[in-house]
Amino acid sequence: MSDRLNNASQFNKILMERFVAKGNVCVDATAGNGYDTCRLANLVGEEGEVYSFDVQDDAILRTRDLLTGEGLQGRVKLIQDTHENIDIHIPGEVDFLIYNLGYLPGGDKPIKTESHTTISSVEKALKIMKHGAIILVTAYRGHQGGLEEYRSVKKYFEGLPQNSYNVFEFSFINQKNDPPITIGLEVRGGRTWQR
Ligand SMILES: C[S@@+](CC[C@H](N)C(=O)[O-])C[C@H]1O[C@@H](n2cnc3c(N)ncnc32)[C@H](O)[C@@H]1O
C-alpha cells in the first residue's frame, strides 16, 4: 500500500474531501495544471460552483482541457486574472479556497506567486468567507523567493485574531529539503464538526 500522508497535497486532499460539500462555492486561486480545480469541481457536484484563477494562458488552457476531459467545465468559471481581484469576480460568499504558491510545474518559472499579492488576495477572501469556511495555502520553499514568501504568509496568518479564526500549519518535520507546508484557517462560528 502506498503512503496516505507523506506530502502537503495529500493533506490538502483529505481536508477538501472532508469539508467541501455538494452545492458549495469554492475557489482555486492558482489553477496551474488544474488538479485542485478538478477535484473541487467533483466535490461540489452539479449544484456547486468553482472559481478558478490563474494569470497564465497556459495554466488556463491546461485546466480547461482537464475539466473538459472529465465533463466538469459547466461547474467551473475559469478566470485569467490575478487572484488579487477575487472580490471583483466573485459575487457571493464562499465555502473553501485553496492557494498553491510558486510557479506552474513545467511552465515559465519567472511567473510565480508573490507574497504581497497572495496576502492581499487572502485579505479580500476573508471578507467573503462564510462561517466555517476554510482556506489552505501551500507554500513551496525550495525555489528562489519561496522561503521569503512562506515566511511572509505565515506572519500574516499568525497575526489573525484567535476569536475569529482557527489558524494552523501542517508540515512534515522529519523530511529533508524543505518540503511544502500548508498554512490555513477556518472561519470560526460554523457548524459543529460531524463524524
Ligand atoms: C504551483 S502552481 C499551481 C498548481 C495547481 N494547484 C495544480 O493543481 O496544478 C502556481 C500557479 O499560480 C499561478 N499564479 C502566479 N501568480 C498568480 C496570481 N497573482 N494570481 C493567480 N495565479 C497566479 C501561476 O501561473 C501558476 O500556474
Which triple of cell numbers denotes residue 126? 476573508
Which residue among 54, 58, 79, 143 is best mutated to probe the pocket of ligand 1, counting the most ligand atoms within 8 A of its Cβ?
54
Q: Is 179 inside any structural domain? A: yes
pLDDT, residue 107, reads 79
Would you state the pLDDT for residue 92?
A: 96
Q: Which residue spans within the chain are E strands per DSSP? A: 25-28, 49-54, 76-80, 94-100, 129-139, 165-170, 181-187
- Domain membership of residue 2 (yes or no) is no
Cα of 71 to ligand 1 centre, how many Å?
22
The number of distinct structural domains making up the chain is 1
- Ligand 1 atom closest to the Cα of residue 118 is 19
26-35, 38-47, 102-111, 168-177, range with the lowest pLDDT: 102-111
Give residue-wise pLDDT tens across range 37-59: 999 999 999 999 999 999 999 99
Residue 168 has pLDDT above 60, yes or no: yes
**Within a domain: 173:** yes
Let me know if residue 192 belongs to a domain: no
Return the pLDDT at 194. 59
Of 78, 152, 77, 76, nearest to 113 by C-alpha is 152
Residue 46, in any domain of the structure: yes
Residue range 121-160, pLDDT digits in tens: 999 999 999 999 999 999 999 888 999 999 999 999 999 9
CATH number reported for the structural domain that contains residue 173 in this entry: 3.40.50.150
In a domain, 86, yes or no: yes
Q: What's the order of all strands across the beta sheet hosting 129-139?
A: 76-80, 49-54, 25-28, 94-100, 129-139, 181-187, 165-170
Q: Whose CA is nearest to atom 9 of ligand 1?
A: 33
What residue numbers bound the domain in which 132 lies?
8-187
CA 158 to centroid of ligand 1, rounded, Å: 23
pLDDT-derived band at 86 (thresholds 50, 70, 90) equals very high
142 three-state secondary structure = coil
192 CA from centroid of ligand 1 (Å): 32
